Chain A
Amino acid sequence: MSQQYPALLVIVPLLSAFAISIAGWVNKRLCFPIIVTALSVVVYASIGLLLTVLEKGVVIYHLGGWPPPVGIAYYVDHLNGLVLVVVASVALLNVIAAKKSIEQEFPDKAGPFYTLYILMVTGLLGIVVTGDAFNLYVLLEIAALTGYGLLAMGEERAPLSTLNYLYMGTIGACFYLLGVGYLYIVTGSLNMVDIARLLPPLYQSRAVLAAFIICMVGVWLKMAFFPLHAWLPNAYTHATSAASSLIAPLVTKVMVYVMIRLILTIFTPEFVFATLALKNVVVWLAVIAIVMGAILALAERNLKRMLTFIIVAEVGYMVGGAWLGNRAGMTGAILHIANDALMTLCVFLVVGNIVYKVKGYAFENLQGLFRKMPFTMGAFVVGAMSIIGVPPTCGFFSKWYLILGALQAGHYGFMAALIFSSLVSVVLFFRIFEICYYEPFSDHHGHDHPPEPMDEAPLTMVVPLLIVAVILILVGLYTVDIVNHIIKFAIPEGLV
């Protein structure tokens, strides 16, 4: 069975999606067990796959038995092995945590919701696992369409913001498709490794340059890289908590993965960093992204929206790290994919719990939450520390590698931007802690505190959250292993 893991990763959730959508019409109570089992299988398969990769090296799976480039092949190396595990486990933890709020927010449409949910996971897993440039586009669209569906089911403004997301997302996907078309017209192939083999003689061709830039712009649109980020905050803010806590951690990170895959596998680092003169331009764009994201987040008076701007800044981290063009920076970017997915999940689950109990996420809704929901807020503190970058939470360690990369590349602007955004996040989060802790406060020594009774979210929501919080610290402590055993091999030797 183990050689079928790559197929299982996508097939199991796909088939279970159909099962769920049928069960939604027959017997609603079946939906949740099915989705949980399916996702558990996926987690199991992804971990198994990663172990196989660590043990035997790259795993290649020929779909339909056709060897590439004739057929479509799955291509799993250390890079996407890691991302697969992250995606799968985030999806599983989140669906367990989101059960209550899904039932609360749309009791009658739970079945379709779960179907979209797991289809989205299928799409994301497919994007990560595939080795075929066009297949990636199809799965991109699956992830996008399900995402529109999930996001649009939110507040009354959700459809409008989702429609804007749809416009931008479609342009992005189409740009990617066009880029693939350019590659196809010059190479005649669609398989990533095969294209990489055919490209070197064509590095000077305008068409290849155009293909690269168009693909990049498309992917940047999808990952909300700063000038192209306009769709993200509204779309994520107005979505239901169950949807946003799936999409916010995963979609942008998977897009960053696609970008790194484009840089490392299809257009090799030699081309991207040596032939093109874009390196510094993009890193400076990332600097702007980080700074603007931080500043815009400062302007928000609403927790969820503030977090979305933090995501914009974090995207800047990863793009910048990947484009520094040295090993440390790339390591930081890849590590940050995993870490950022986890910490974003953590804080968005917290928002979910708060919305479930308090029915709101504006700052004034947060008063006295430390007494009301101690466990949720405890996890929130861990997540915040991770975003600020305080050891031993994992956020610190990816930031470490990013800064190291900036130093080695001699790019002090990027380093300064990272430091700056950490400082800003300190302000952001302690502003919130003050509200949650000290308000409603009274002016003489706060003696007459109305002691709110503890009113914590249900166990199924709190336990996964605490698990995530613990993972944040464990990942931090085991960073060196992740780097030495996985990421080291994910980056080609050529990149020093």
Chain B
Amino acid sequence: MSKIGVFVCHCGENISATVDCAKVAETAGNWDGVTFSVDYKYMCSDPGQSLIKNAITEKGLTGVVVASCSPRMHEPTFRKACAEAGLNPFMCEMANLREHCSWVHEKGEATTEKAIDLVRILVEKVKYNHELTSIKVPVTKTALVIGGGIAGIQASLDIANTGHKVILIEKDPSIGGHMSQLSETFPTLDCSQCILTPRMVEVAQHPNITLYTYAELESLEGFIGNFKAKIRKKSKSIDEKLCTGCAQCTTKCPVKKIPSEFNEGLGKRTAIYVPFPQAVPNKPVIDRKNCTYYIKGKCKVCEIVCPTGAIRFDQEDQIVEVEIGAIVIATGFTVKQPDFFPEYGYGKHADVITGLQFERLASASGPTLGEIRRPSDGKVPEKIVFLACAGSRDPAKGIPYCSKICCMYIAKHAMLYQHKVHGGKSYVFYMDIRAGGKQYEEFVRRAIEDDGVNYIRGRVSKIYEKNGKLIVSGVDTLLNAMPVEIEADMVVLATAGVANEGAEELAQKLHISYDPYKFFAEAHPKLKPVETNTAGIFLAGACQAPRDIPESVAMASGAAVKVAGLFSKDELTREPIIAVVNRQAPPVYSSCVGCFLCVSACPYQAIEKEEIKNRNGEVIKSVAKVNPGLCQGCGTCVAFCRTKSIDIQGYTHEQMYTEVMALLNEY
């Protein structure tokens, strides 16, 4: 026989203003199985909790129902109180009288009636509660960081410096990401590579960091503290141990005209290549799609010239399996290319370039060695136009959001242009100037006031070529919407920052959610900006939304702290809300018939096959088994099982059935 205590909270007047709390307590006191009921002003206060604890010890309660606020608010509080008084914490349930009743209904009998109903549901449920024990799981104190841009680099270093192991994987041959492509950085105009490359070297040399470049995540299974990842190390076609990075091969490779990814297509590279001189690791890879040997079966010049014999044409992709406890995703973003814009010529004008391409032109390590020369004929543009919001904030293009970084980098570009091309004229077409950030607005004003960049508020409808000039035809909305035409030598589009290709696929591998634009979703937009909805997986940088460098770094450090916090414990406790397949005495063993349809219904691959064997080791029966480590407790399998062989702790068949019955039947 149950001995249940009902504790009705007034919550000051939050509940008692519309619900007759005394009546609720009195009514509950008359129900079967309720041995104690009381109402009190603040149940969550110390005296309130003592009231519960005393009742548990004095009345020998077997179950507790606290009728107060939302369990999402105080369930841990009251469960803890019960545990302190020696009652299994999972024998405590909460009826939500505040958020679901007193705050949303007027004072009156109906409201009190509802409160009574809500309490009764839980009183009946708690009769079927079982004592449960929290699940303890060990933590593997190694982190996986996906993406070696500035966010991934920062996160890796921060985690590694707390003394934990980090595995950093990067899909390209070198770490560095977009930041390594940038010329100078706003708002200080310090050289991007000068501040980044020391960090890259630090990553490579850090004893706690294992770096896999040219590598991608193949698959992930497991859960917080206990993930298993498969990493595909794409074949570099060289033996990294033998390669000294002498660059004989990259100098001699006869295939020299491949558009360089690092230079955004403005420069060329060879088939065996190091993406840029400061690359980490500074060892080449063979691009098999463009290598003559892989296409035609002969060449092997690199093999001939290599002094250490490091070339491995038959090297295969390697799958590395690692065990990790937490993941930081820092896969970054990409930008739309000019061919996305019909109004700007579908990419057919060579001198209409993206902001990222301009970075390469302005960079001292770029294809023009930092001189601003236009791609078509190498001339220094005398007139240059920058278009902000190319695609961004344009619902018709499917990109209604602001790409955030463009206002600032356009100001920087225009400034760099003015510094490098004396007497040159620069124009910026913009919708708004969004320069919220430390020293940002001042930076934009400097571009306008000191460097004489012409800012035109309006959009550009069309760019076309005429007599060797690019005619930029737009409107000036501050001049009464007058049409403006500028004959430019070069146009730079601040094309929208968008999610990487394959972001969706990666999200599915990781079981994390993403927004409609395929940026990864944070767990809470304000309070959990670096967490995902999957415990143990964190976000850093522009994979979550367009981010500038300071923000990416801040996020990365935030994610690193979350990882370090997780690694500070030797084991994690989880609520035992998990599914269980029943086991019975022989000869039945389990009512499960082993159809295993639940396996595909489970979002976590938590259901396995278990073979029940007799003494001779012969399989008598194959039944489903839930891996408690993987199960997250959604209960999808429970509702699906035809034989009702799976049940979920905390929300069992009996509990849920009883709740429905209790609610509707008259007592």
Q: Do A and B assemble together?
A: no
Report which B residues bind A (CB closer than 8 A). Answer: none
